[in-house]
Structure 1
Amino acid sequence: MAPDDTGSAEFQQHRPVLLGAAYRILGSLADAEDVVQEAWLRWSDVDRSAVAVPRQFLIKVVSRLAIDRLRLAHRRHETYVGPWLPEPVRTGDGQPLGPADTAAQRDTLSLATLRLMHRLSAPERAVFILREAFELPYEEIGEVLGLGEAHARQLHRRGSTHLATGRDRFPTDPGVHRELVERFLAAARTGDRAALQGLLAHDVTLWGDGGGKVRAALRPVTGPERVGRFVTGLLAKYPAIEFRVAEVNGAPALLVRLGEPWQVCSFEVGRDRITGIQWMSNPDKLRRFA
């Protein structure tokens, strides 16, 4: 049955929410777009007169599809070459990954939180996202995911506990974040390793994701001296480098052109130091930055 114009308009109205939910669960915009497309096909065939609340119905479809895909992705991640990082996404004006109006919604969109959510099981991640980003009551989350309300509460509590030890490393205000990114950029441009190291926390970690496609650190690099040496050594290999500051996943990040496409260097920031760096060089996750 071909969808009518009303059904199409209604789906498009909810599409940013659906894409945002799928992306947050999966950490991959490409996979999220596939999930939303499959949800559209199901919406096209459903008897919409029997759907009391379209938004809830569509979130249910997308969440379940995303959980299924996430379980398959976990198997792929087991054989992934080097650290796995979420796919970065440009945000700002016209960003498609709503909602991001509250602090909790922006936090669940950040690359730092998406990286940490890789620790969670598929149901834990879905419950956490639906609660934190979409503020759904536990009863509705249970209905969406086919769980009891008590089970949904338990999964949210468990997921929040698993994330707590990492999320306390980057509670900062946007002004401090931007200042540290700009100071990092200035040090990187001049190759000033001492200045760069001075911006890094004593327990800083750099994760590099080349996905086996390009050369990247196969293990996390820890400590200011090693991270500083890694970054300046990497940049010194290229005679011509271009930098840009851009909003990625709701926070300032560096776009670095060492070739094609642009690479993305995003930052996890504490009170006054950089606590983590995610360096994305996997071209499969950078097609939107070409």
Structure 2
Amino acid sequence: MTNSKSNYIQQWEPIFAQHRSFLISFLYRMTSSLSDSEDIVQDVLLSCADTDPVSIENPKSWLTKVCSNRALDFLKSAQKKREVYHGTWLPDAVPDSYEPLVMPSESPDKNILLADSLTTSFLLLIDRLTPEERA
């Protein structure tokens, strides 16, 4: 890696740190997989080595667009792989570690079953959308 690319990565790291949670939440809604979302964000960070962050007017919007495009490519590839999968596919469970992904509950005792069923239903519904519709 050249010195300028290494320097660009160092400049991008605080920007990614600021927007990482948002990007992962955004990608999770597209991919239904936390690990895939994290992988895409990491991959986009590495691909930013070619871009000077100073040249980007709105980094959050730019990163969202780049991540969205990368996720669409990933989903198209995953769709091809899933066409030969013969088992039942279910999305990942919503992790508690990412607050933007978790539905706030006013009364945990009353809403825990509703939240679980709504989350699963929502993820299954999202899975029926095409990658372009998810974006």
TM over 0.5, shorter chain: yes
How far apart are the structure 1 equivalents of 2:99 and 2:80?
Answer: 26
Q: Counterpart of 2:48? A: 43
1:205-248 CA distance string (max 9 Å, x none): xxxxxxxxxxxxxxxxxxxxxxxxxxxxxxxxxxxxxxxxxxxx
How far apart are the structure 1 equivalents of 2:99 and 2:16?
Answer: 15
CA shift in 2, pair 1:102/1:60, >3 Å: farther
Q: Counterpart of 1:96? A: 98
2:32 touches 2:91 (CA, 8 Å); kept in 1?
A: yes
Q: Counterpart of 1:125? A: 134
Mind listing any 5+ residue stretches in structure 1 that lack a counterpart?
Answer: 127-290
Residue 98 of structure 1 deviates from its aligned partner by 2.6
Residue 56 of structure 1 deviates from its aligned partner by 0.1
Residue 44 of structure 1 deviates from its aligned partner by 3.2
Matches within 5 A, 1:129-278: none
Structure 2 counterpart of 1:22, from 22, 27, 39: 27
RCO greater where, 1 or 2, for CA within 8 Å and sep 6 or more? 2
Residue 42 of structure 1 deviates from its aligned partner by 2.2
2:56 touches 2:62 (CA, 8 Å); kept in 1?
A: yes
1:67 aligns with 2:72: yes
How far apart are the structure 1 equivalents of 2:83 and 2:30?
Answer: 18
CA shift in 2, pair 1:72/1:4, >3 Å: closer
TM-score, normalisation: structure 2 = 0.76
Q: Which has the higher helix share?
A: 2
Runs of 4+ in 1 over 6 A off after TM superposition: none
2:12 touches 2:45 (CA, 8 Å); kept in 1?
A: no
Q: Counterpart of 1:86? A: 91
Q: Counterpart of 1:111? A: 120
CA shift in 2, pair 1:60/1:102, >3 Å: farther
Matched-pair identity in %: 34
1:161-214 CA distance string (max 9 Å, x none): xxxxxxxxxxxxxxxxxxxxxxxxxxxxxxxxxxxxxxxxxxxxxxxxxxxxxx
1:19 touches 1:36 (CA, 8 Å); kept in 2?
A: yes
Mind listing any 5+ residue stretches in structure 2 that lack a counterpart?
Answer: 106-114
Structure of greater Rg: 1
2:27 touches 2:67 (CA, 8 Å); kept in 1?
A: yes
Residue 25 of structure 1 deviates from its aligned partner by 0.4
Structure 1 counterpart of 2:82, from 73, 77, 81: 77
2:95 touches 2:101 (CA, 8 Å); kept in 1?
A: no
**RMSD of Structure 2 on Structure 1 (CA):** 2.5
How far apart are the structure 1 equivalents of 2:51 and 2:70?
Answer: 16
Give the count of matched residue pairs: 119
